[in-house]
Structure 1
């Protein structure tokens, strides 16, 4: 094949790829001067278009004539790479909607971009989808990148993808798959014998949280202790922050509130110089919740931290994070004897969650029931608590559910209903993997 034919074939291929990327049909490019059949011949490499036809097609496709002829468009490429850089900044600052739009615009011009820029934009798009709560779409995008042969095991991109997939599956409630992805990734890193990097440590930190959510606190503690050693020895600020943060959550789940507070303080100290608003917000929420749980506790300081967390999450947080912040504020209001405020916060949390059967909804209803009881609305409080229990029964049994059943049982006990409390405690034991020796025939509380 001579050079002219090769050039024509390359022009035709680029024309076809760019047209499809723009979502256009051949007739959309046709005009009085260029017929549909002629465009088809160009795309198949059977005709080499004149300079005038190339200019016309480039205008309709929104690219340069240089790109159609040679595949190179330096000015356009630089413009798109700058847009991708600004999208990264938007994602970092919490402007997830802006980031998603910018990454999508970059990907619409993928044929004119280097493969590295395209992959960077695809990863950014997936992370923006995750932060916007569009988890199924995020998982689909992340999985495609993670399973791509171009994704090298042990690389920074590979670690980021594994970490994000763990988070997304955890948020979707698939604790088995989230842990499986994290464990498999860490095993692969051990096989490769690579020195631990910040990205590897952050992957481990997310796996710690997956273990905690699943209720496997022993494994969570073992991995957390190992990661703290790595993070202290060779980890950067972000890796140390996420390690201490998740270790604090594990200590809290184990009832070691003093240790959890100490770890949270270390995380806050590392975060002090950061401009990452969402991380500030989430960690303030963790710290505030720990202060509520501590003995003797500091409800006023806890409320300040939780209020700050909520204000920031309204701007940069996901719907779930905003709802959890409202529930925490409701609990803080109860501790400060501000019953009406507690009801308002808990109701707002449920409004954000749209009443779906999720652990967050159950927790919000449980706090709402406590507030209603404190307001003297006894019948409504019991109805709310029964609704919480009914929702919790729709969720898969797990150790994390056991903790919520325990809170429901404690609330029934506060109401003076021993039968309902006992039924909730029994369900907590079952979900924790400690069923009774004999099946219970007493279905008190319709649990």
Structure 2
């Protein structure tokens, strides 16, 4: 796309330049509605063209009024949007720096051309760069920066911005704020009366994970079932694939394993078909997690190791972290305690730079279980208590139930019966605040 000759070029000078480039005289461009003298004043800057004059001149030059006003080449919005999508696929393959440069270039050009919808899209993808780097505070700022232009964006893009902002809130330990943000956006979308299945599906998808972690399984299931009804009307493969991957977490949580496996297979197939390597690898990570839950440890080991390697290649530090936690737990269950500990300790520096309380608590619990398996009951107690405190503070009730059980068992093995009973009661309270819903 050609660049502007001069960002401060006066409108009259631009009209003269474009007229001469087309081989037109002032009379030929001005007539039949205006005369040569009038156009001469416009071109010299002595007369500011009205909207009607601008429309006439733009039509004669083969442009739209905004293309003439902002020196915007024909098809600029489409070309810039295509550049964003191409760069996003490169981001998915691990080309973070190159993608970031292209997103920044498009953001600047869209601002020059007064294309706020394209500018918003570019800002959203700049937030995605930070998300992939696992810099949650910067990602949150990036998505908030995109939200400043959300009024000019499509409902789908607005929904995706909310989706990511909610994920940042959840990773920072504020599940309630995450859910409230999405529910507000969903209510606003539905209140317009206009149907946008992609936007609705993106928002319903964003509800599932935080509700699961809060133990609100009935509400999570309601969101997943509503998404399932919207799914046939959705157009975007990436949004449909993200729904399938997220819904699978809910199905496995309530015991619908066959449905979970089918959704993960669909997600993997869709992401692969559009060249979203990072998200395809995340689907493998999710499948490894499912197989670990089902006790298929050998299959889980192979899938999680592959997922971790693919996520590392894609530059997804958040994905590497999650897949490594699951891989370490599989190795612990297989009795490979030294390898499990090495994997868990290896990602702690990454956690220290992140507000991801959920992942930090998972690692603490995992290290606590490894310590218990090695016979270090005091060390296990300290780690499990720290994990439980973090989970309780962040309303991670489902995880807190499991951690409390492990902590109670560890304390009981040490003969600390009263403290063990309190740990069990803590888990019971967390379970009472959760809702499991029927598994039918």
TM-score normalised by length of structure 2: 0.71
Q: Say which is worse superposed, 283-292 or 234-243, in terms of deviation.
A: 234-243
Q: Partner of 1:133: helix, strand, or coil?
A: coil
What is the aligned partner in structure 2 of residue 173 from structure 1? 173
Deviations 1:274-302 (A, max 9, x none): 432211221112111111212xx211001
Name the structure 2 match of 1:36. none
Equivalent runs, 1:317-336 vs 2, <5 Å: 318-336=316-334
Counterpart position of 1:385: 384
* Distance 1:363-1:277 versus aligned 2 partners, 3 A rule: same
TM-aligned CA deviation for residue 130 of structure 1: 2.8
> Matched residue of 1:72: which SS?
coil
Which residue in 1 is equivalent to 2:57? none
Question: Alpha-carbon deviation of 1:432?
Answer: 4.3
Alpha-carbon distance, 1:340 to partner: 1.2
* Aligned residue number for residue 359 of structure 1: 358
* Matched residue, 2:425: 426
**Residue of structure 2 in register with 1:221 after alignment:** 221
How far apart are residue 403 of structure 1 and its match? Answer: 3.5
Q: CA deviation at 1:397?
A: 3.5
Aligned to 2:193: 193
Give the Cα–Cα distance (whole angstroms) in 1 for the partners of residues 405 and 131 of structure 2: 30
Change (3 A) 1:420 1:170: same
Q: For 2:135 and 2:353, how far apart are their aligned partners in 1?
A: 18
Q: Does the 8 A contact of 2:224 with 2:247 survive in 1?
A: yes
Residue in structure 2 matched with residue 100 of structure 1 by the alignment: 100
Aligned to 1:49: none
CA drift at 1:106? 4.0
Partner in structure 2 of residue 300 of structure 1: 298
Are 1:138 and 1:168, in contact at CA under 8 Å, matched by a contact in 2? Answer: yes
- In the TM superposition, what is the alpha-carbon distance from 1:167 to its structure 2 partner? 2.2
Change in 2 beyond 3 A, CA 1:180/1:189? same
Quick one: structure 1 residues 267 and 385, their matched pair in 2 at CA, closer, same or farther if it must change by over 3 Å?
same
2:309 is matched with which residue?
311
- 1:88 is aligned to 2:88: yes
Q: Give the 5 Å matches for 1:265-276.
A: 265-271=265-271, 273-276=273-276
In the TM superposition, 1:41-52 aligns within 5 A as: none
CA separation of 1:229 and 1:117: change in aligned 2, threshold 3 A: closer
| Greater RCO (CA < 8 Å, at least 6 residues apart) | 2
Provide the rounded CA distance (Å) in 2 between the counterparts of 1:146 and 1:392: 30
Instruction: Give the drift of 1:169.
Output: 2.1
* Cα distance, 1:404 vs structure 2: 4.6
Q: Retained in 2: the 8 A contact 1:320–1:352?
A: no
Unaligned runs of 5+ in 2: 1-7, 14-44, 47-67, 435-440
Q: In structure 2, what is the Cα distance between the partners aligned to 1:226 and 1:236? A: 17
Query: What is the TM-score with the length of structure 1 in the denominator?
Result: 0.70
Query: Deviation digits for residues 124-159 of structure 1, max 9, x if unmatched?
Result: 22222333233333333433443547435x633222
Cα 1:313–1:411, aligned 2, differ >3 Å: closer, same or farther?
A: farther
Cα distance change of structure 1 residues 414 and 156 upon mapping to structure 2, 3 Å threshold: same
Cα offset for 1:355?
A: 8.3
1:36-55 CA distances to partner (integer Å, 9 max, x unpaired)?
Answer: xxxxxxxxx99xxxxxxxxx
Q: Alpha-carbon deviation of 1:193?
A: 2.5
Partner of residue 241, structure 1: 241
Q: Is the contact between residue 307 and residue 329 of structure 1 (CA under 8 Å) also seen in structure 2? A: yes
Distance 1:179 1:381 in 2: 33
1:128 is aligned to 2:142: no
Deviations 1:323-369 (A, max 9, x none): 22221111111222212111111112323212878231221122222
1:350 aligns with 2:351: no
What SS does the corresponding residue of 1:194 show, helix, strand or coil?
coil
Q: Is residue 371 from structure 1 mapped to residue 344 from structure 2 by the alignment? A: no
- CA distance in structure 1 between the aligned counterparts of 2:158 and 2:330, rounded to whole angstroms: 40
Contact 2:89 2:275 (C-alpha < 8 Å) held by counterparts: no
Shift of 1:307: 0.5
Q: Indicate the residue corresponding to 1:19 in structure 2.
A: none
Q: Is the 2:292–2:300 Cα contact (8 Å) retained in structure 1?
A: yes
Structure 1 residue 311: deviation in Å? 0.9
Q: Provide the rounded CA distance (Å) in 1 between the counterparts of 2:108 and 2:274.
A: 33
Q: Does the residue aligned with 1:173 lie in a helix, a strand or coil? A: coil
Q: How many residues align?
A: 370
Secondary structure of the residue aligned to 2:143 is helix
RMSD, aligned α-carbons: 3.7
Q: How does 1:255-274 map to 2 (within 5 A)?
A: 255-257=255-257, 259-271=259-271, 273-274=273-274
* 8 Å contact kept, 2:411–2:420: yes
- 1:219 Cα offset (Å): 0.9
